[in-house]
């Protein structure tokens, strides 16, 4: 009992350290909306001391104009009708005014399914909102320009063509039978066709077949009088650029006469968004998926009721490496461990870094204990091999806890599955280290 109590206390202490030192802003919140425990990043983001935030209602931190977004879904989560919510709100911070944030709220439920607490994640999206608003203003400006120039078409076709040709946007006017009526010079760059030769031709004759089928629903909605947008458009497999297209109905005297196409090159924006996503989901030291990505993958696997094996890995002797050779050597060991695990696992398996010297491996389609033991044994062998660090060989081992999820079992949460594997890992470590233990053995 003392050993189990000690393990629980150690696990709780580690949870609180990880929770407080997490690079993401989060807080535990009661059902009444009062903040029970904010972590350090949460306090820094809000510009408030922890003592001030504890027992403060979350609603008091939200701009009154956005508070209504939270009320109804919050009640549904508390009532057990909804698992989570994600909204964008403005948070009130001292001296800095409103801070645009993405608020993610998830329920923490007991074994009976009753919501006991809620976890609130806060992400600063001020820069993203600024880019969105900038893009919207740019889009609005383009729409205004196109509409204005189209009205002048009858008076000065040459003037309109010159203006459109010098805007770095794909612009076209398409008729009710999906025929081109007007195109700017960017069509020459994208499709290698003179704009003057496109007039009267069907859109289906110009676009690749798969692109046409992808965009046809947008065309149909535009002809029905609806303004619609299409993201991640690739006009050719040979062209790496990514486009964001807007289709605006051409309505005259209450009748749809066609629609305008404005397609903007957003390749650079997508690249930056991917960089931001990678920063949010990848561990910067090893390049492995981080805790957030692991939980998402594990939740998905559990919802699919698939057969898989979960390996909770703690490196034995890692602290001694740090103490004797320094943190740079420790980082090199972690990177080597990540590379070795990736080398022996399959492409559809996941190797993630949980925190410190703890890793988690999800091996797909593992349906029996023999296969799980074989993988665990390989992981122990590859992680116990010496690692050369600055001319010195260091040796660590691995204690591994294995949770085997077989198809048809009752679904469990990611936290429960990780807790089971974590407990088995500690049993393996107490049994002599550099070994593994299956849950239930």
Residue 22 pLDDT more than 70? yes
Element (H, E) at 379: helix 369-384
Q: Which residue has the higher pLDDT, 268 or 343?
A: 343
Name the 3-class secondary structure at 424. Answer: helix
Q: Which domains does the chain have, with CATH numbers?
A: 2-124 (3.30.450.20), 129-269 (3.30.450.20), 282-438 (3.30.70.270)
Mean pLDDT of the chain: 85
Q: 146 falls in which pLDDT band (50, 70, 90)?
A: confident
- pLDDT tens profile 346-390: 988 999 998 899 999 999 988 899 999 999 999 999 999 999 887
Beta strands in 240-396 (DSSP E): 243-252, 255-265, 308-316, 350-355, 358-364, 387-389, 392-394
**Percent of the chain topping pLDDT 90:** 36
Query: Look-up: residue for tokens 């957030």?
Result: 292
Alpha helices in 185-314 (DSSP H): 186-191, 195-198, 203-206, 209-223, 267-281, 291-303
Element (H, E) at 401: strand 397-405
Residue 1 pLDDT more than 80? no
Residue 367: count other Cβ atoms within 10 Å of its Cβ: 15
Mean pLDDT of 229-253: 87
Mean pLDDT of 48-75: 90
Q: 194 falls in which pLDDT band (50, 70, 90)?
A: confident
How high is the pLDDT of residue 327? 87
How high is the pLDDT of residue 133? 84
Residue 38 pLDDT more than 90? yes
Task: Flag the least confident range among 24-38, 129-143, 149-163, 416-430.
Answer: 149-163
Q: What is the DSSP letter of 282?
A: B
Mean pLDDT of 1-16: 63
Radius of gyration of the chain (CA): 28
Distance, C-alpha 158 to centroid of its chain: 47
CA distance 89 to 86: 10
Residue 8 pLDDT more than 60? no
Nearest alpha carbon to residue 295 among 314, 274, 280, 307: 280
Residue 404 pLDDT more than 70? yes
- From the number of C-beta atoms within 10 Å of its C-beta (0-12, 13-18, 19+), residue 399 rates as buried
Q: 5 falls in which pLDDT band (50, 70, 90)?
A: low
How high is the pLDDT of residue 189? 79
Residue 403: count other Cβ atoms within 10 Å of its Cβ: 24
Residue 125: count other Cβ atoms within 10 Å of its Cβ: 17
- From the number of C-beta atoms within 10 Å of its C-beta (0-12, 13-18, 19+), residue 425 rates as buried
For the entire predicted model, the pTM comes to 0.44
């Amino acid at each position: 009992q003392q050993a189990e109590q000690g393990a629980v206390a150690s696990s709780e202490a580690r949870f609180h350290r990880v929770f407080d030192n997490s690079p993401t802003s989060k807080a535990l919140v009661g059902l009444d909306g009062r903040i029970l425990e904010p972590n350090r990043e949460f306090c820094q983001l809000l510009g408030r001391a922890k003592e001030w935030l504890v027992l403060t209602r979350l609603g008091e931190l939200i701009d009154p104009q956005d508070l209504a977004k939270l009320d109804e879904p919050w009640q549904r989560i508390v009532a057990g009708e909804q698992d989570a919510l994600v909204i964008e709100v403005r948070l009130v911070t001292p001296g800095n005014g409103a801070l645009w944030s993405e608020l993610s709220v998830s329920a923490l439920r007991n074994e009976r399914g009753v919501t006991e607490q809620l976890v609130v994640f806060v992400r600063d999206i001020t820069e993203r909102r600024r880019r969105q608003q900038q893009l919207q203003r740019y889009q609005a400006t383009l729409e205004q320009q196109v509409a204005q120039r189209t009205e002048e078409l009858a008076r000065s076709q040459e003037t309109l063509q010159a203006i459109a040709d010098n805007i770095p946007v794909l612009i076209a006017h398409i008729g009710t039978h999906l025929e081109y009526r007007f195109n700017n010079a960017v069509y020459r760059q994208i499709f290698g066709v003179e704009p003057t030769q496109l007039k009267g031709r069907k859109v289906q004759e110009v676009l690749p077949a798969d692109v046409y089928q992808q965009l046809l629903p947008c065309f149909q909605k535009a002809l029905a009088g609806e303004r619609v947008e299409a993201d991640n458009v690739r006009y050719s497999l040979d062209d790496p650029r990514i486009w964001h297209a807007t289709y605006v109905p051409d309505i005259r005297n209450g009748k749809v006469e066609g629609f305008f196409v404005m397609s903007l090159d957003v390749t650079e924006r997508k690249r930056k968004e991917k960089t931001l996503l990678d920063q949010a989901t990848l561990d910067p030291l090893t390049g492995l998926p981080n805790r957030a990505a692991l939980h998402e993958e594990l939740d998905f696997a559990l919802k699919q009721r698939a057969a898989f094996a979960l390996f909770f890995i703690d490196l034995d002797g890692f602290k001694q490496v740090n103490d004797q050779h320094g943190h740079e050597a420790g980082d090199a060991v972690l990177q080597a461990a990540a590379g070795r695990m990736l080398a022996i696992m399959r492409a559809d398996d996941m190797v993630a870094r949980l925190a410190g010297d703890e890793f988690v491996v999800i091996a797909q389609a593992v349906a029996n204990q023999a296969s799980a033991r074989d993988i665990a044994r390989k992981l122990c062998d590859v992680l116990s091999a010496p690692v050369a660090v600055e001319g010195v060989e260091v040796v660590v081992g691995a204690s591994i806890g294995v949770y085997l999820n077989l198809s048809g079992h009752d679904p469990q949460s990611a936290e429960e599955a990780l807790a089971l594997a974590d407990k088995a890992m500690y049993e393996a470590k107490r049994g002599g280290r550099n070994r593994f233990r299956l849950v239930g053995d």
